[in-house]
Structure 1
């Protein structure tokens, strides 16, 4: 207790010295420092605009950074003004000495009072090892015994050992949170011959943890080797989904996680964490997760939020996806998704010049069956970025979905406009061929429709839904 008191007094004295010295010195240099800071912030703004032009940052990231720089710039300007006022009318030495004495008396009293009320003067310090053991779910004795075991095994294996011994050592270090040592042990085991699925997954996991949570190429390779032996290994499927999200492909990551969610027991220990990850990734990417078809990591087919139709109805897949909206999500997660869409709407209301934002909103609303909202959002996206073929295609699909849902007697003019644009600007794009074929059929141009369906069939894989539908339409049109 005496040592604690001495340390407390020493720290208090040091703080008082640091506070008192600026007060006792003459006030100078503040204006120069503030002016320097302001110049730095102006340079940061110019660099930010250059990064935005080069595409290094997104418009949303630039807005957030610009807001923070502006805040700091304003604070620096206020500091410069305050410093200027101090120089023209700074208090005298007597006043500064009085302020210093007041701090010297008030600060220790306030500190002792707060510590006595909120602190725990008699509570002993907790050693680092004890805190680490608690984080790992171990008692201090368990952690101590495991460490002794790991160190003993490490010494025993210095001259070599069996693969199973290295795997056991890796597992022990992994239990202790020593992931770099665990990774080394697993790699030693892998050097002695092929591992089983569980060991490959453990090696990959140790690699991820040793890399501060990043799924590096070596870890991905380990997880793929695990899945080659056990297609259902949950750790490998989870981390490969994480790898996709970290690599910027949120749709594929969510698809992998949804596949894992569907194939897992409802009470599996990872389900809560998995659903939280899905909701978080979807929120950050601005996409509704229930509209993404599940994909196993070994399934290399592209992942899309809304696919081309698989039956007579053009909007069938979108409707099927919307009907599955409740699958695997708690009410809180659904509320989070609704909140995500509302925040996107609010942001677009204040910053409407954002074609990507409008397109993202259109896709989200379409999956949720708000076809009017989807059409209106896509219309704004096309208005702001009319040269984007993907947005034009999505707009046409939204118009088609709304027409089928409302059982409209004919397709709207905007749909034919998108089909004409695709014919001129993206004549070989499969989605454009699809829109153009439907437009031709709607206008009773059978020969044109047949040619377009045949062209679509020639560029699509035979096992794809679009190919099957094109063949169905050709039969219905009497084509040979």
Structure 2
């Protein structure tokens, strides 16, 4: 932690210098000047009173001289007392200030600071994850430190599913739904995780989730695929064919999973004794491809490092919060022109072409975390079918 505490200590010394240097240099001189001016004014006022009394005939010349001498002695005595007090204050006040500033600063940081987040960022930046289990641990740490981040919970759920930890994935997707809302894609993922966590036993709650997802989005592919699987496993082959045919129609023409799904449809038809040929899917929507120029604001060039990760992604303006298409670069690559298309989709069911309006985002993350970083740039809403080059300038602090 020396790379954190050393700069913090240096900043503290600078802050103390602003307090102590003027105090030590100017306080004594200013105090002496003010004290002397006050005492002289009092002395002059007393002498003027004595002279007025002597002019009025109430004091003799000898009494005037005696009064002036007494006023002079009081002026001298006051000066000596003030000097002693100033000497005592000058010894203790700077020392008390020097002790109070670091103690107060440390207390405020421990209460409101982010030492845990600093430690986590340092650990993430030291090395990339070398295995799926290490990636899982980091995602678990991320949602623990940022429990209100729906993207973190979503990616954790996907990771759990890849590890066949369906029960844990269901809990993660439940949190993502709670935070991001009941988006159809999230409901489908949640239902799928619950289905496998329940040993492929269909239930009324799963039916309600998939019905809700398909009511909001009739082409929600996870729900369609899950209903087809559940129908096939339960011997309801007609339902399997019906849902899988809808799924094939919703998938882009280049999707590699189309062939496997059509094979499943053929097997289900064989079980039904139906020799009719498989119906070809309806034409898929035109594939989307956005051209984006990403630039770094000149004011940030001294605040980033060439090796810092840059994530360029598109997300739906109205829809799931997860990125639809992502590319990873580094600060050294900027400025750069990239293309985001359906082939860059993180999930087959979440493609650019399925969402009419998207927002383009570029995030700088020294820790290599796509969901949180130091600097960010965002575009206004753009059409996913736009052919014009879009521009994103990274210029703001990432407040997520």
Which structure shows the higher strand fraction?
2
The two structures have a TM-score, normalised by structure 2, of: 0.34
Normalising to structure 1: TM-score of the pair? 0.28
